[in-house]
Chains A and B, each alone.
Chain A
Amino acid sequence: MSPSADDLYDPELQQSVLLTKVEWVKDWGRRNALWPMAFGLACCAMEMMATAATKYDLDRFGSGVFRASPRQSDLMIVAGTVTHKMAPRVRRLYDQMPDPKYAIAMGACVIGGGPYSRFGYHVVQGVDLVIPVDIYVPGCPPRPEALIDAIRKLQERIRVRGGKSLPPEDHLKNRERILAMSAS
């Protein structure tokens, strides 16, 4: 049985001491200071910038600190069409981010190729074939409210499930699924 505040005999101590777990405190910090990477690929990046700007003010949720380096970021918002030429760069940037790290797939192109999925030859049919994705935001492009909702959902997820990021090989299960689909 874990100790609770009631175990403390001294009422003075009950006023001034909070018992918790180190992991809980770390997750509290993680979810309230998600630093996204300044990284936009296409038109969705416009909405991402609008989300960070004054009207929607992503700083209210502690996520407005867009970092120019993957080394200082823990959230990758993939905003815009991911082409086959760009996919290795996306993966490299994701690999350069320190753990724990999270990814948001923003917009129809990033989720499944969007309007390019059927006849386009150059667009990756979902960035979850390249990197593990935590939250998907549909829309073309999604409104800033939708991106804010995604960040709130990610915060909730960190609160409920803990701050561990997805395994780095999480995208491989999608790869196997699609390869089986094209073989059949």
Chain B
Amino acid sequence: MSEPAATPSAPAPAAPADPVTALAARKLRAALGAAVLEVVETGRHPYVRVAPGAIVAAATLVRDDPELAMDCCHLVTGVDWPAKTPADGPGELEVVYHLVSYARRPAAEVLRSKVKSDNFLALKVRVPRDKPEVPSVMGVWVGADWHERETWDLLGVRFTGRPPLRRILLPEDWPGHPLRKDWEYPVEYHGIPIIPPEGR
């Protein structure tokens, strides 16, 4: 009995596209058009990136659409993308919205397949680092309140159209936003000295 010859030149099977992201991207493109800036449907973390001004419209759409029904804002996080050289401009801050649908349970065949789940969706927004203003999605999911406060606390993303941002994790008088890549360690804080990283 002969084994079929191994074919090393055979193309790798295409990575499975995330069905929810594909569906959401189609619907968001139909509704928002050019405000949908980037769609990544494969990989470990598929997402849809929209323009900052369109985030509230996009959030409302994926919440109210009966096929998507993203009824829960699981998490709002941020990523700092500083410019590699000063000529590249101020750099960008990214806000990631991790959404989950509790109304739609994942189908059994989806749970068995390579796709992790079909009820998660990630939306992303990028804003310039020197003017990091993103419209708040508190009007869509009120639970985004503390997540937005945390993103502001640690990365300094200013969310607009919401109750005033207050620090949530750090002390009220903490200097700056420490998860920014260019954040400087203070020499001491309330009389307690801080050894800078190069001296540790």
Interface residues, chain A, CB within 8 Å of chain B?
Answer: 84-85, 87-88, 117-119, 121-122, 124-125, 129-130, 175, 178-179, 181-182
Query: Which residue of the partner chain A has the closest CB to B176?
Result: A121
Contacts of A88 in B (CB 8 A): 190
Q: Does B199 contact A (CB under 8 A)?
A: yes
> Which residues in B have their C-beta under 8 angstroms from that of A124?
192
**Which of B170, B187, B190 contacts A122 (CB under 8 A)?**
B170
* Contact call B171/A84, Cβ cutoff below 8 A: yes
The total of chain B residues at the interface (CB under 8 A) is 19
- Are A129 and B196 closer than 8 Å at their CB atoms? no
Interface string of B159-195 (1 = CB under 8 A from A): 0000000000011001000100001010111111111
Q: Are A182 and B195 in contact (CB under 8 A)?
A: yes
User: Does any Cβ of A come within 8 Å of B11's Cβ?
Assistant: no
A179 touches B178 (CB 8 A): no
A118 cross-chain contacts in B, Cβ below 8 A: 197, 200
Q: Please pick, from B178, B187, B191, the residue contacting A182 in the complex, using a CB distance under 8 A.
A: B187
Residues in chain B near residue A121, CB distance under 8 A: 178, 183, 185
Q: Is the CB of A130 within 8 A of B192?
A: yes
Check if B199 sits within 8 Å of A85, measured CB to CB: no
Chain B's closest residue to A117 (CB) is B200
